Structure 1
Amino acid sequence: MSGKFQKRALFSRYPQKMPWKFYGMGFALTLALFYCAIFIWPVVPSVPNLSTANSLAKAADKVTVGTTFQIRISPQSGLFSIAQQLAQQGVQAYPFAIMLSARAILVGSQLKPGTYLLPQKASLGKILLQIARGDRIRASVAIIPGMTIWQVRALLDTNPWLTHQTELMSAQELLQALNLNYDSVEGLFFPDTYVFDPEDTDLSIYRRAAQAMQKQLSNAWEQREAKTPLQSPYQLLTLASIIEKETGRSSDRTLISAVFSNRLNLKMPLQTDPTVIYGVGPHFDGNLRKSDLRKYNPYNTYMNKGLPPTPIAMPSKESLLAAVNPAKNDAIYFVARGDGSSQFSKNLRDHENAVDQFQRKRKTSSQTTSQH
């Protein structure tokens, strides 16, 4: 056998090298299969993990009731921690696979904390994109202008989506928890709608509402008139709360403010029913009696001159601004007309006529109608 033939035979024992294009095709095919697995293979069970998930979906009004699998990602979680949390809460994938998938679809650094409702049998890719968008469930609670602290506490204590830390706290303990240097919690929480993640604490809502009120109060105090009878932001808060409770029509706020400012300047009692009602307490039955007006308590502004010791409700921004910018008016009386507005008078005679016109005749008419 010639040397040339032997050399050729020797090399024929080994396979020829695969061209690079075949390696490229293999890699592309593997990558395609990997992405298909990420976006097609379901990793969410069809069985809900929480019995409240459907009701949460309804309450959030964000997704259909069919999305029944709930997960929660803790704040300040990195990718590794998020992958562990997803696996621990029932997503059927290993943490390493979750991390690899998140990086493969370029969302590894974009995953956001919160509570999420996932579609049944969702793929890992869809889950990660949903979390990257922050498409999570939010709940909300609304503090209405004019609410008292008793009503606000009942509102938050009964909210099903909050973690309750303050339910058993006294008023003083709540003030300490919020680091507020006041004698009363009344009036300190700004009326607004507060959006939150399910399982946030009620204390966090109180804190946000208190911070919002302090901001609004400071802004209003900076806009006060030079001749205002108010001597402190807290007095402003107190007067604004009375204006809030007395106002039936928004356009009357500054006029009502003028009446109370004029009375304070004249050293007259404010003589306003809402303060007396507040003094009766949270069990007031809706019927203000003459005996209530004659009974002494610190909030009875028929018997005490000046402002009551604390606010009597949560005032709105409009009432705060009205308290520091009353209308240019000499009125010292007003009476409800029965349509939400008020009739303002500068002297007692005109006021008595207005009372006769808008209240006494209305009572007589009502009694006559009932007799028929």
Structure 2
Amino acid sequence: MKRIGLLAAGVAALVALVGVIWLAAGWWATSDIEEDREFTVASGSSLTAVADKLESEGAIASANSFLLRAKLLGSGDPVQAGEFLLPAGISPAGMLDTLQHGQPIRRFVTIPEGTPSILVHERLMAEPLLTGEIPVPVEGSVLPDTYDFERGEPRARVLARMQAAMQNYLAEAWPKRASDIAVDNIQDAVTLASIVEKETGVARERRMVAGLYSNRLKDGMLLQADPTIIYPITRGKPLGRRIRQSEIAAVNDYNTYSMTGLPKAPITNPGREAIAAVLNPAETDARYMVADGTGGHAFAQTLDEHNRNVEKWFALRRERGEM
């Protein structure tokens, strides 16, 4: 009887050892996934639901075997919601670790400097991996940048991050402003920066353009910024034609050809550099500027000098057949 008992114990131990080897071998073995794939875990999913989904998508052979191994050999941590990358050949153990502790796949949306809010809205609404509705954000409330997001994330949450980024940047930049700038508050700084952003795409000119408009504001001169004519017509979208005389003369809350001071609100979402230029403009005597034909501007201190620059610009345009 004693021998039979020892034999039975030995058989049981052998079976247990084989079972452990089977569990371990299957847990850390290379899977049949032949190429990298994306796997999505819905919010609130249980491990059982995840295992069933892995099996249905062919990532594992058996949900039950996966669950058994996960409970005996896994960490016991909950799976995360999100979209994850499962590399080719990843083991079941690697799958569970990725879903429990890995970083979800991040997607990216870029808002270039000077993008008006109506186009920010269009860009976010056109992103198929985001969800929900959003209103057109307040002009000047979004900080142009590249933002990451997850599949299925609400558009409102992404927009809130863009707006929080603007508030954070302004809170950091405003205390570093020059002592003699032409604006008295953050909102006016954003409004002036939006004009600077639309007036020049040349980085080295931003502080010069900001200095020019600061001078005109301090002198009580009309800003005469063409983008402020266009904004009430298109809400920041390209006009697609030349500005008409009737539009130059139009009286509204934005047109700086017919009103002194700043528009009532920003005309686009300015980037960091345009805002920084307004808060620390170049020291210049320039009051006038006109395109110079190279993408930049010719600056002038006096109207006579400016008129000569305008004639040069017109001559260049005639030479190009543009007039």
Task: Specify the alignment match of 2:174 in structure 1.
Answer: 221
Are the aligned partners of 2:212 and 2:287 in contact in 1 as well (CA < 8 Å)?
yes
Q: 1:211 — aligned with what?
A: 164
Assess, with a 3 A threshold, how the Cα gap between structure 1 residues 114 and 352 changes in structure 2: closer, same or farther: same
For residues 87-126 of structure 1, the aligned pairs below 5 Å read 87=51, 89=53, 91=55, 98=66, 100-102=68-70, 104-109=72-77, 111-116=79-84, 118=86, 124-126=92-94
State the shift of 1:328 in Å. Answer: 0.9
**1:218 Cα deviation (Å)?**
1.4
Q: Would you say 1:367 and 2:321 are equivalent positions?
A: yes
Change (3 A) 1:130 1:329: same
* Cα distance in 1 for residues equivalent to 2:220 and 2:272: 27
Give the share of equivalent positions with the same residue, in percent.
29
**What CA distance in whole angstroms lies between the structure 2 residues aligned with 1:43 and 1:128?**
15
- Matched to 1:91, the amino acid is E
User: 1:293 & 1:161 partners in 2: Cα distance?
Assistant: 42
- Cα gap change, 1:267/1:40 in structure 2, threshold over 3 Å: closer, same or farther? same
SS at match of 1:351: helix
Where 1:335 maps in the other structure, the secondary structure is strand
Q: 2:148 aligns with which of 179, 195, 211?
A: 195
Given that 2:47 and 2:78 are in contact with CA atoms closer than 8 Å, whether structure 1 keeps it comes out as: no
Deviation at 1:24, TM superposition (A): 5.4
Q: Tell me, in whole angstroms, the C-alpha distance in 1 between the residues paired with 2:151 and 2:166.
A: 24
Deviations, residues 172-197 of structure 1 (Å, cap 9, x unaligned):
xx6xxxxxxxxxx0010111111111
CA distance in 1, matches of 2:117, 2:66: 47
Residue in structure 1 matched with residue 230 of structure 2 by the alignment: 277
Kindly provide the CA deviation profile for residues 46-71 of structure 1, in whole angstroms up to 9, marking residues without a partner as x: 9xxxxxxxxxxxxxxxx75xx3x642
C-alpha distance in 2, partners of 1:346/1:120? 66
User: Which among 105, 125, 130 is matched to residue 98 of structure 2?
Assistant: 130
CA separation of 1:320 and 1:138: change in aligned 2, threshold 3 A? same
Counterpart of 1:362, as a letter, is L
Contact 2:191/2:262 (8 A) holds in 1: yes
Q: How does 1:227-266 map to 2 (within 5 A)?
A: 227-266=180-219
Q: TM-score, normalised by structure 2?
A: 0.86
Paired with 2:161 and 2:82, the residues of 1 have a C-alpha distance of: 18
Q: Aligned runs of 1:1-372 on 2, under 5 Å? A: 15-18=4-7, 25-40=14-29, 67=37, 70-74=39-43, 81-87=45-51, 89=53, 91=55, 98=66, 100-102=68-70, 104-109=72-77, 111-116=79-84, 118=86, 124-132=92-100, 134=102, 136-166=104-134, 169=135, 171=136, 185-282=138-235, 284-357=239-312, 359-367=313-321
- Over 3 Å counting, the alpha-carbon distance change for 1:252 and 1:288 in structure 2 is same
Partner of residue 179, structure 1: none
Shift of 1:152: 0.7
Aligned pairs, number: 317
On the 8 A contact 1:115/1:197 being kept in 2, the answer is: yes
Is the CA contact 1:278–1:299 (under 8 Å) kept in the aligned structure 2?
yes
1:361, 1:152 → 2: CA distance? Answer: 38
Q: Deviation per CA, 1:256-308: give whole Å up to 9, x if none.
A: 00011111111111100011111212463342222211122211101011110
Query: In the TM superposition, what is the alpha-carbon distance from 1:336 to its structure 2 partner?
Result: 1.6
Q: Alignment RMSD, CA only?
A: 3.0
Q: How many Å separate the matches in 1 of 2:101 and 2:63?
A: 20
Instruction: Show structure 1 runs of 5+ residues with no match.
Output: 1-10, 47-62, 175-184
Q: Which has the higher contact order (CA 8 A, sep 6+)?
A: 2
1:29-51 CA-partner distances (Å, limit 9, x unpaired):
3211012223449698x9xxxxx
8 Å contact 2:74–2:93 — kept in the other structure? no
Structure whose alpha-carbon radius of gyration is higher:
1
> Could you tell me how far apart the structure 2 residues matched to 1:217 and 1:245 are?
19
Q: Is the 8 A contact 2:70 2:96 kept in 1?
A: yes
Matched-pair contact (CA < 8 Å) for 1:73–1:85 = no
Residue by residue, what CA displacement relative to the aligned partner does 1:147-201 show, whole Å, maximum 9, x if unpaired? Answer: 11111111111111111322xx4x5xx6xxxxxxxxxx00101111111111111
Q: Is the 8 A contact 1:260 1:332 kept in 2?
A: yes
1:314 Cα deviation from its structure 2 partner: 1.0
Equivalent pair of 1:147/1:313 in contact (CA under 8 Å): yes
- Provide closer, same or farther for how the CA distance between residues 336 and 21 of structure 1 changes in structure 2, counting only shifts above 3 A: farther
Query: Is the alpha carbon distance of 1:227 and 1:120 closer, same or farther for their aligned partners in structure 2, counting shifts above 3 Å?
Result: closer
